[in-house]
Amino acid sequence: MLVSPLFDAYRVFYGQGSDPAGAQTFLSERLRLGESVVFLAELASRVAAGFTQLYPAFTSVGMKRIWLLNDLFVAQEARRMGVSTALLEAARQHGLATGAARLVLTTETDNRPAQASYEAHGWKRNERFYTYELPL
């Protein structure tokens, strides 16, 4: 699976230890069970350049599907080549094609480059709701 090394690098970027076999297993399970959608960007040389992974959720109030853009990663050597733009557009098109109400994502408060990219692509920061977590 071409996306597995990128997924492993993404996890390492966020402070996790490298686990290529675990990355392969995790992604294979999500796809086999229909629990996520993955878009892979490749360079002309067929080298994997980046990926995004979406998880389905729903809005009870809107009675529609929403997609959580949980992962977005571009390999260092493929940055500044339009890869993230292509991946964000693929996610948007998928949301439209599936009749989703919206796509949502979360990013770290100090990740200014990602925030600028999202906002440049039409994403709006939610100023109305806080996000809470309950560690288990």
CATH number at residue 91: 3.40.630.30
Question: Residue 116: pLDDT band by 50, 70, 90 thresholds?
Answer: very high
> Domain containing 84: what range?
36-120
* 8 Å CB contact between 41 and 2: no
Instruction: Give the pLDDT confidence score for residue 41 in this predicted structure.
Output: 96
The whole-number average pLDDT for the span 15-21 is 97
Structural domain includes residue 68: yes
The whole-number average pLDDT for the span 31-48 is 93
Give how many domains the chain has, as a whole number.
1
Question: Residue 40: pLDDT band by 50, 70, 90 thresholds?
Answer: very high
What pTM value is reported for the model? 0.91
Alpha helices by DSSP H, listed for the chain, are 3-13, 20-32, 83-97, 112-120
Instruction: Give the pLDDT confidence score for residue 110 in this predicted structure.
Output: 93
Structural domain includes residue 91: yes
